[in-house]
Amino acid sequence: MRERMELTFQVAIRTQATIGGDPYAGSMSTALVTGASAGIGKEFARQLAERGHDVVLVARDRARLENVSDQLRRSYGVRTEVLVADLSDRSDMGKVALRLADDLRPVDLLVNNAGHGLGEPFLDNDVDIEEQLFEVLCKAVLVLSHAAARGMRVRGHGALVNVSSVASFAATGTYSAAKSWVTAFSEGLASELAGTGVTVTALCPGFTRTEFHARAQLNMSHLPSALWLDAGDLVRACLDDVSRGKVVSVPGAQYKAMVGALRVLPRGLTRAASGGLHRRRRRPPA
Ligand SMILES: NC(=O)c1ccc[n+]([C@@H]2O[C@H](COP(=O)([O-])OP(=O)(O)OC[C@H]3O[C@@H](n4cnc5c(N)ncnc54)[C@H](OP(=O)(O)O)[C@@H]3O)[C@@H](O)[C@H]2O)c1
C-alpha cells in the first residue's frame, strides 16, 4: 500500500515536471550536476529533484554525495546516481564524460558547477595548484560539455549550465581568467547550438554563501551583507533563465548593475578596481 502511494507521488511529480515548460524537461528528466556535494551544486541537485528530475551527483567526497543522494530520494522520490570523480584527474573526468555520452541513459541537463578558488596570487602558488584549478574550472567544462552536447544535439533537446562568475568580467587573477573563458566558451557554444533545441547558459554568480570562501581561506570580513547571495535564490533565478533560453544569467539586481557597468567601463578602470578587490580578499596572514 505504502509502495503504491509512493509510486503515485512519483508519477504526479514527474507529470508536473513534464508540463512545467523547462526546455530540458518533457520526456527527458535526467540532470548531471558536478560539485553536487556542497554549496551551489547541492542546491541545483535539490531544486532539480524537487522539480521531478532524476539526478547524477558528481564530486570527490563519496560520503557527502551518498548523503545528498539519500535525502533527495527520500524527499522527492527521484532516482539518483553517485559518481565519485576528481575533475582535476583526467581519467576521472573521462568516467564522467562516458556517463554523459551514454545514449541508453541520456542526460538532458548538464550543470558544470564544480570548482574552487585560490587564496594566493598566481606567482605565490605552486604551478601544480594553478594547473589543477585550470583543469577543474576550464578543461572539465570543455570535455564534459563536448560529451553531453553531441548527444543532446542528435536528440534535438537539452540544456547546459556552466557556472561561471561575475569575476569573469573583471581581472582578479587566474580565477577570473578561467571564468572569463567559461563565459566566452558558453556564449560561443550557445551560438553553435542555436536552432538545435539545445541551450547553453553561463551562470555568473556574485558572492554566494557556500563553503567556497572558507575552503580557499579567503578573508571576506569586509564584504557588505547586501552583496551576499543565497544559493537557493541564485539557483531558482538561473533555472528560470534556462527556461527562457537565456545565454548569460546574472542573478541579483546588484550584480546585474555591476556586470552592466563592467561591460562598458574602460578596461583600465576595470583592472584598477579588480586589483583593489583582489588584495583585500587575500588569505589573512597565518
Ligand atoms: N560561492 C561564490 O561566491 C561563487 C561565486 C561565483 C562563482 N562560484 C562558482 O560556483 C561553483 C560552485 O562553488 P560553491 O560556491 O558552491 O563552492 P563549494 O560550496 O565549495 O562547493 C564546491 C563543490 O565543487 C566540488 N569540487 C571542488 N573541486 C572538485 C574537483 N576537483 N573534482 C570534483 N568536484 C570538485 C566540491 O565537492 P568535493 O569537495 O566533494 O569534491 C563541492 O561539491 C564554482 O565553480 C565556483 O567557482 C561561486
3-state secondary structure the chain: CHHHHHHHHHHHHHHHHHCCCCCCCCCCCEEEEECCCCHHHHHHHHHHHHCCCEEEEEECCHHHHHHHHHHHHHHHCCCEEEEECCCCCHHHHHHHHHHHCCCCCCCCEEEECCCCCCCCCHHHCCHHHHHHHHHHHHHHHHHHHHHHHHHHHHHCCEEEEEECCHHHHCCCHHHHHHHHHHHHHHHHHHHHCCCCCEEEEEECCCCECCCHHHHCCCCCCCCCHHHCECHHHHHHHHHHHHHCCCCEECCCHHHHHHHHHHHHCCHHHHHHHHHHHHHHHCCCCC
For ligand 1, pick from 60, 87, 174, 180 the residue to mutate: most ligand atoms within 8 Å of CB.
60
Residue 39 sits in which domain range?
24-280
Count the domains in the chain: 1
- Residue 263: name the closest of 165, 170, 162, 164 by CA: 170
Cell of 16: 508536473
pLDDT for res 1: 39
Distance CA 221, CA 219 (A): 6
The answer to the question of residue 14 being in a domain is: no
Cell of 245: 533560453
pLDDT for res 24: 62
Atom of ligand 1 nearest to the CA of 215: 20
Q: Which residues are tagged catalytic?
A: 164, 175, 179
pLDDT for res 277: 64
CA distances from 80 to 52, 67, 232, 258 (A): 11, 11, 20, 37
The answer to the question of residue 244 being in a domain is: yes
Q: Residue 224: which CATH number?
A: 3.40.50.720
The answer to the question of residue 70 being in a domain is: yes
Ligand 1 center to 188 CA (angstroms) = 24
The answer to the question of residue 146 being in a domain is: yes
The answer to the question of residue 5 being in a domain is: no
98-114: string of b/e by CB count within 10 Å (b at 16+)? ebbeeeeebbbbbbbbb
Atom of ligand 1 nearest to the CA of 36: 43
For ligand 1, atom 17, the nearest C-alpha belongs to: 212
pLDDT for res 129: 97
Ligand 1 environment, Cβ below 6 A: 34-41, 59-61, 64, 85-88, 113-116, 136, 163, 165, 205, 207-208, 210-212, 215
pTM (predicted TM-score)? 0.91
The answer to the question of residue 9 being in a domain is: no
Backbone phi, psi, residue 199, to 5°:
-110, 155
Cell of 42: 547541492
CA distances from 160 to 14, 140, 186, 211 (A): 21, 13, 9, 24
The answer to the question of residue 214 being in a domain is: yes
pLDDT for res 14: 38
117 with 165: CB under 8 angstroms?
Answer: no
For ligand 1, atom 2, the nearest C-alpha belongs to: 208
Provide the residue-wise pLDDT of the chain in tens; the chain has 286 residues. Answer: 344 433 333 433 333 333 334 556 544 499 999 999 999 999 999 999 999 999 999 999 999 999 999 999 999 999 999 999 999 999 999 999 999 999 999 999 999 999 999 999 999 999 999 999 999 999 999 999 999 999 999 999 999 999 999 999 999 899 999 999 999 999 999 999 999 999 999 999 999 999 999 999 999 999 999 999 999 999 999 999 999 999 999 999 999 999 999 999 999 999 888 876 666 555 544 3
153 with 198: CB under 8 angstroms?
Answer: yes
Ligand 1 center to 285 CA (angstroms) = 24
Ligand 1 center to 85 CA (angstroms) = 13
The answer to the question of residue 96 being in a domain is: yes
